[in-house]
Chains A and B, each alone.
Chain A
Amino acid sequence: AEAVTLKMATDSGAKGSPTGDAMEEWAELISESTGGDVEVEIFYQNELGGQQEVFDLFVAGDVDLMINWPMTSYDKRISVVYTPYMVFTWEEALDAYKPGGWVHSMMDGIYADIGLKFFGAWPEGFNGVATKGRYATTVKDADGLKVRVPPTFPFAETLQAMGYQTATIDWGEVFTSIQTGVVDGDAANVIYWDYEYFRDTLDYYTQTKQNFITGILSMNLQSWESLSADQQKAVEAGAVKIMEKHFAAAREIDRSYVEKAKEAGMTYVEPSDADMKALAKTVRETVWPQMEKEVGAEIMDVIRKNASKL
């Protein structure tokens, strides 16, 4: 086969970060198993612009491979990865996202429609709500807490169903507004971010687990089709390998940040099983019908059929 150089980029990690290291490993796996026929050039976070800009380059084929956050501007159905309360444990999440898993099959179809090849997940973990002053494990307690949510559907809708007031604040102003107190907390992140940026400002991290937060490993479809069958196999096998490795590692990383947050004086709250089920029930009842309007009944039927039982 002909020798090619692929461009790989991320929107979520500098050189030396877990994502940065994983890109290097993926690149090496590809190079090794093709005997150097496929080389990979890496661009770390922000080197080619912001999230949306790099995703544009990816869809257009200027970038061939990515580990990135799902972006919904080309196809609103991609927001299905943000469906609240789909899975409850790491095992369920891995089963859903690995090749042959139900989320994998669902996403593969949607990604193909915008010209991308879906390989798998790059998980961060289950998210929660970090707040100042008080915390909530029930809809009633959340009343009056104003939290920041990302502008993507259905984050605001999910947090509202959980009882919070929400404020959409641009990514560029999130840190400022939480530090100055424009909002009382941050509501869609895994504990890592809230520890890293807000441990002096926010007092509680309540792991309500409404979303399994994950990046996506994928490839531009035209670039994919330009590879030989062996080269394709090498790229996909590399993706699956770093994904499985990261599923184990991410869980440990997440757990270690719970400990670090506690040491830093944040209170880590795990809602009781009953509270969690009540939250999940309410949120599913409120948000899933809204999602159906956005992503269609066909996709929601798949979710209803496969989502973890309450």
Chain B
Amino acid sequence: MEAALAILLLVVLMGLGVPVAWAFAGVLAYLVHIYDANLNTLMLQGFRSLNSVVLLALPLFVLTGYLMQSGGIALRLVNFIEAIVGRRKGGFGASLVLTSGIFGAISGTATAAVASIGTIMIDPLEKRGYPRGYSAALLGIASLLGILIPPSITMILFAVVTRQSVAACFAATIGPAILLSLGLLIFNRVSVGRAFDEQLTGIAQKAERRGAIAKALPALALPAIILGGIYGGIFTPTEAAAVAVIAALIVGAFVYRDLTWARFRSSVISAAETTGSIVLILLFSFMISRILAFERVPQDLTEFVTGFATDPFWALILVNAVLIVAGALMDDVSVTVVIAPLFLPVVTAVGVDPLHFAAIVGCSVVIGANSPPVAPILYMACRVGRISIHHAVGPSLLLIATVALPVMLVTTFWPELSLFFPRLFGFY
């Protein structure tokens, strides 16, 4: 009963348009009241959860994303990919997907990819015949490659709240990321000529293409530095985030010279703002989790679910359904920090490895961020693409049904897809 009221309160507050962080704080106030929580330690517990070395990667990878945009790194990556695949059938749509992937190997968020790739590519895509709604929907899903390809803020949050190794969680979503990329490329290739006609106009000449490739080399060095540094044993994932910021700064300010002081300043402020709003949600949801832990809610939930879903198949189907419904109604951060830790004991009770579950959660975020009514990434792609939402919802739902959801199901029922890379790197 109390739980139902708490969920109702959350839905009402969020639905009213109260910012998500304050909606959580409101639910917390309710729980503090009904469970008579000890206020001596309530906020202290929240403080502890933020005062974590591993979490330092969050602000830094967010900042890296903004610096890639303001430092001209994103632009060079787009030009590079276009030079390589732009002439093939479906090539421009494919370049949107591949650029999102490379962008994702440097940045940890989807928002930075949507903002920069969308700004650069959606107009040229329209000139070549891609409907704006289609491009926005494709960008909405493709940008989420950024949270499946390491580094990833979703996986950092998952690792922090479930006490897993960050680098291992990073590795767990590589397999699903490859599958999702392939799915998106095939979907795009099939759509060209059926959903719309592609016009091969404005194709770059050979010399231009060579130039684009050469100019992209410094940008392409970034993922090599970051991932090479982590898996080559030079620095930890947290430290990698600081190295990424420094590298993006150097490339943007001294190699491309796009990063002025004013743009740097506004990038840092925007990054701080993004981080701050994520962190407040994290703070209050941690405090909620702690109260729920005292009331043994995770244990009860595990008993309840494993009580009727005795074999892993049905338990996983149920958890998938919960993740998708939660993803439709909540933002990605909330799903990762509230739903994931609640259901981790449930899935481990039926023998699912935590790293495998990390990959499932990652896939659910890809869907959740694009599934209405609460679809922050899809809406952002529409805003950046200057197209009204109802033009993009159709293509987006089609993409989810034919690509993102199948990827999630394959990830769920084929553990080897997510466990292969952790094993390769020696984490599993």
Contact = CB atoms under 8 A, between A and B. Distances in A.
Nearest to A169: B236
A60 B425 CA distance: 42
Interface string B39-75: 0110011001100111000000000000000000000
Nearest to B234: A182
A179 B427 contact: yes
Contacts of A172: 52-54, 159-160, 163, 165-166
A226 to B, nearest CB: 16
B45 A170 contact: no
Nearest to A198: B426
A200 interface: yes
B164 to A, nearest CB: 9
Interface stretch (A45-53, A119-127, A253-261): A45-53
B40 A60 contact: yes
Contacts of A52: 48
A176 B45 contact: no
Interface in A34-69: 43, 46-50, 52-53, 56-57, 60-62
A196 to B, nearest CB: 14
Contacts of A56: 41, 44-45, 48
A182 B236 contact: yes
**Among A47, A170, A176: residue with most chain B CB under 10 A:** A176
A198 to B, nearest CB: 10
A131 interface: no
B294 interface: yes
Per DSSP, chain B at the interface is helix
Contact of A48 (B54, B232, B290): B290
Nearest to B231: A180
A265 interface: no
Contact of B38 (A47, A62, A179, A181): A62
A211 to B, nearest CB: 23
Nearest to B160: A172
Interface in A173-203: 173, 175-177, 179-182, 200-201
A97 B53 CA distance: 34
B40 A180 contact: no
B411 interface: no
A181 B298 CA distance: 36
Nearest to A184: B233
Contacts of B426: 179, 200-201
B233 A181 contact: yes
Contacts of B160: 172
Contact of A173 (B38, B49, B236): B236
B368 to A, nearest CB: 26
A50 B294 contact: no
B235 interface: yes
A175 B48 CA distance: 21
A173 B53 CA distance: 9
A221 B54 CA distance: 33
Contacts of A50: 48, 163
Interface string B235-279: 111100000000000000000000000000000000000000000
B403 to A, nearest CB: 31
Nearest to B341: A46
Nearest to B45: A53
Contacts of B167: 173, 176, 179-180
Nearest to B53: A170
A182 B290 contact: no
Given A173-B53, A179-B425, 17 more contacts: A46-B163, A47-B298, A49-B290, A50-B48, A53-B49, A57-B45, A169-B236, A173-B236, A173-B237, A173-B238, A175-B168, A175-B427, A176-B168, A179-B427, A180-B230, A180-B231, A200-B426
11 contacts: A49-B45, A49-B48, A50-B48, A53-B45, A62-B294, A170-B52, A172-B52, A172-B160, A173-B166, A179-B425, A180-B230
Question: What 10 pairs across the A-B complex have the smallest Cβ distances?
Answer: A181-B233, A170-B53, A180-B233, A176-B167, A172-B54, A173-B236, A60-B41, A53-B48, A60-B40, A179-B426
